[in-house]
């Protein structure tokens, strides 16, 4: 089943499922865990500040990403979960994948981790210079 949510994390609008306003916004380096099914949880990481633009070419914050991954590693270790993710932080967050890959390897070294390389869609960030 697919649930479509309009808006964003700070102003969600949905028929049925919504995001709890009491948990948003949360600070850099924090993780919000959402249970989708009994054996499936999604970790929303707050690891970037702002949006990709000419004045903010690298919104990803590597220290915040490291803190988020450490939290996810702790949770996965406590529950026996494996970790699955795309190449986080290297698209519209402006991060350098080799740097991020090193951080992922260091913070998730003791966990079963699967990183998926998804096809490039050539999505360009909006021109925010107006």
Task: Classify residue 5: in a domain, yes or no.
Answer: no
Q: Give the pLDDT confidence of 20-77 residue by residue, as tens digits.
A: 444 456 789 999 999 988 889 999 999 999 888 888 889 999 999 999 999 999 999 9
Task: Classify residue 43: in a domain, yes or no.
Answer: yes
CA 129 distance to own-chain centroid? 25
Cβ atoms of residues 98 and 130 within 8 Å: no
> Where is 33: in which H helix or E strand?
strand 31-37
For residue 83, the model assigns a pLDDT of 95
Which residues span the domain enclosing 71? 23-112
Task: Classify residue 130: in a domain, yes or no.
Answer: no
We report the CATH number of the domain holding residue 76 as: 3.40.220.10
Task: Classify residue 61: in a domain, yes or no.
Answer: yes
Task: Classify residue 74: in a domain, yes or no.
Answer: yes
Q: Give the pLDDT confidence of 88-122 residue by residue, as tens digits.
A: 998 889 999 999 999 999 999 999 999 998 877 77
Task: Classify residue 36: in a domain, yes or no.
Answer: yes
Residue 77 is classified by DSSP as: H
For residue 53, the model assigns a pLDDT of 85
Number of domains in the chain: 1
- Long-range interactions of 39-48: CB distance < 8 A, separation 24+: 41/75, 41/81, 43/68, 43/71, 43/72, 43/75, 44/9, 45/69, 45/72, 45/88, 47/88, 47/89, 47/93, 48/89, 48/93
Task: Classify residue 120: in a domain, yes or no.
Answer: no
């Amino acid at each position: 089943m697919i649930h479509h949510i309009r808006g964003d994390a700070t102003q969600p609008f949905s028929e049925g499922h919504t995001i709890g306003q009491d948990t948003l916004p949360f600070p850099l380096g924090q993780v919000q865990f959402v249970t989708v099914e009994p054996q499936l949880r999604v970790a929303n990481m707050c690891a970037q500040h702002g949006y990709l633009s000419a004045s903010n070419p690298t919104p990803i914050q590597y220290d915040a990403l490291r803190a988020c991954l450490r939290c996810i590693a702790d949770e996965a270790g406590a529950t026996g979960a494996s970790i699955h993710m795309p190449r986080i932080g290297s698209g519209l967050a402006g991060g350098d994948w080799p740097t991020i890959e090193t951080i992922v390897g260091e913070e998730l070294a003791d966990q079963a981790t699967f990183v998926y390389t998804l096809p490039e869609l050539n999505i360009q960030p909006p021109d925010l210079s107006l």
